[in-house]
Amino acid sequence: PAQAGPMVNKDSVNPGSQISMKGTPLSLMGTPIIVGKPLPPAVLTDAKKMKGVDLSMEKGSVLFLSIVPSLDTAVCDAQTHYLGEEGDRLPPSIRRITISRDTPFAQNRFAKEAKLEDIRYLSDYKEGEFGRSAGLLIDDLRLLARTVILVDKQGIVRYIQVVPELTNLPDMEAAFEQAILLDKEN
């Protein structure tokens, strides 16, 4: 029987450890982020404004970070559509952000074609600084591991799911539930 899209993976591995792609092991480089610690500083490029952004400096809102290897793949497309369409159920105070190593131009094209322009797109295309700062840069591919990170209003990481198999989706529903709970806290 045909599958209805990519499989959702409820498991997680630690940042800085190892994931797989169709069974082939891939190492994650960088300093692993940790739940309960501040989001580490790293400059990303805002696709719309073409300006540097450091999410560790953005306080006052819950940040829902949906991290994908490349928007031009089916699973990343599905993950981003889920964040954009199903994410409309989240309170508007939760900031939905997609991060990838795609160029800002590719991110803008994707947003326009997919009609998902209510998500903020940030690119780690230059040096992979964000990926390294979080332990999410895939060594061989130099892409980001498929991950969901929730950051509370004080800039503290409260939830991480690093999907163990790159071709699977994260458990977006579990992340939505956590984001709503975080948003209710002060």
The closest alpha carbon to 168, from 101, 75, 46, belongs to 75
DSSP lists the bridge partners of residue 1 as none
Using alpha carbons, list the distances in angstroms from residue 121 to 18, 35, 49, 51: 26, 23, 10, 12
Do the Cβ atoms of 180 and 91 come closer than 8 Å?
yes
Query: Which one from 76, 83, 138, 143 is the annotated catalytic residue?
Result: 76
For residue 89, indicate whether it is catalytic: no
* Phi, psi dihedrals of residue 89, rounded to the nearest 5°: -75, -15
Do the Cβ atoms of 162 and 152 come closer than 8 Å?
no
DSSP strand pairing (120-123 vs 95-100): parallel
Which residues carry out catalysis?
Answer: 76
